[in-house]
Structure 1
Amino acid sequence: MPLTSRWIYAFIVSCCCALLGYALYTQYFDGLHPCPLCITQRAFFVLTALVALTALIVHPQQKGRYLSAGLMVLFTSLGSAVAYRQVWLQGLPADQAPACGPSLEYMFANLPFGEAFSTLMIGDGNCAEIVWTLFGLSMPNWSLFAFIGLGLCAIASALPMVKR
């Protein structure tokens, strides 16, 4: 069976859903509460999945494949940046990690959007805490790898050699 852009879109949607499903599982069944940067990464996984799902349904021609790939690469790049920021925060010595900040709900309810967004991107002590690892890597490390892999898949979906 030849590799087609539709298979790649389905793969991206499946991966994003699996990653989001596991994140929700760890939140509601393992009791791991997501920090603001974790929630932001989830949002970029959702946006990537929505673009891939739309492309899967619409089945675009070459220009549409370029647009879809461009949007997915944009979202995976932004998600990678957020994940990298959290990995960096987790690598700081405990005395250099930023203090814990207000909750995400509080920030968006009580601060102007620009200030809430910039506070969100700075991260806080909750973002620097490592509460889960697999093979010695924290969840943001795995999230970073996933964003990079999904971005590469998005690029592959637009290659002319991949059938529509």
Structure 2
Amino acid sequence: MKLFSITLNRWMALIAMSCIGMLAFGLYLQHVVGLNPCPMCIVQRYALIGVTLIALLGSRLRKPGAMSVFGVLLALMAGFGAFVAARQSWLQWYPPEIVTCGRDFYGMVENFPINRAIPMIFKGSGDCTKVDWTFLGGSIANWSFLAFVGFALMGLLIAVQAWRSR
């Protein structure tokens, strides 16, 4: 089971290491630079943790069938992260006319039932529209979207390659 002469297990390990690096960079931006994450940033972190865990488990698999399942799971989790990052990018490019700072992520989850908290998170708060950091013209949400799309595509490639080698 190889993809570009690298085993699928190593691809999963590389994805996991990339995610760990991204999480570490996010913590650096939060604790050293002083940028506080908005609710959508926190949801993206959870999606990144999910991709990391799936990739770590997938890196230990030996059976092609199980590897293809984990590739699809990785693609789905990364697709969710890409959706959240795309929504945040949209809010940054086209902020609502009335920007109010809403509750933080944990305040929403603790004070509202989940069926009300989830739409509030994706609606975004005033913090979700603010661009505090850029690199080569892209915000954190823009770069996060590209990373999640890359992880999703790699997950699909891994799933297809593992399925073919069954």
Name the TM-score, length of structure 2 as normaliser: 0.91
For residues 27-48 of structure 1, the C-alpha deviation after alignment (integer angstroms, 9 at most, x for no partner) is: 0000000000000011111001
User: Partners in 2 of 1:135 and 1:82 — Cα distance?
Assistant: 21
Cα distance, 1:97 vs. partner?
5.5
Q: Which runs of 5+ in 2 are unaligned?
A: none
Task: Say whether the 8 Å CA contact 1:13–1:53 is kept in structure 2.
Answer: yes
Q: Which residue of 2 aligns with 1:107?
A: 108
Structure-2 change in CA distance of 1:69 and 1:98 (3 Å): farther
Task: Say whether the 8 Å CA contact 1:13–1:52 is kept in structure 2.
Answer: yes
Name the TM-score, length of structure 1 as normaliser: 0.92
Q: Which residue of 2 aligns with 1:18?
A: 21
For residues 92-136 of structure 1, the C-alpha deviation after alignment (integer angstroms, 9 at most, x for no partner) is: 15x625422111121111111111111111111100000000011
Task: Say whether the 8 Å CA contact 2:75–2:154 is kept in structure 1.
Answer: no
Equivalent residues, number: 162
Secondary structure, aligned partner of 2:97? coil
* Percent of pairs with identical residues: 33
User: Partners in 2 of 1:105 and 1:65 — Cα distance?
Assistant: 34
What letter is aligned with 1:69? G
User: Partners in 1 of 2:143 and 2:98 — Cα distance?
Assistant: 21
The answer to whether 1:9 aligns with 2:12 is yes
Deviates more, 1:73-82 or 1:108-117: 108-117
Q: How does 1:2-151 map to 2 (within 5 A)?
A: 2-57=5-60, 59-93=61-95, 96=97, 98-151=99-152
Q: Which runs of 5+ in 1 are unaligned?
A: none
Cα distance, 1:2 vs. partner?
2.7
Cα distance, 1:70 vs. partner?
1.0
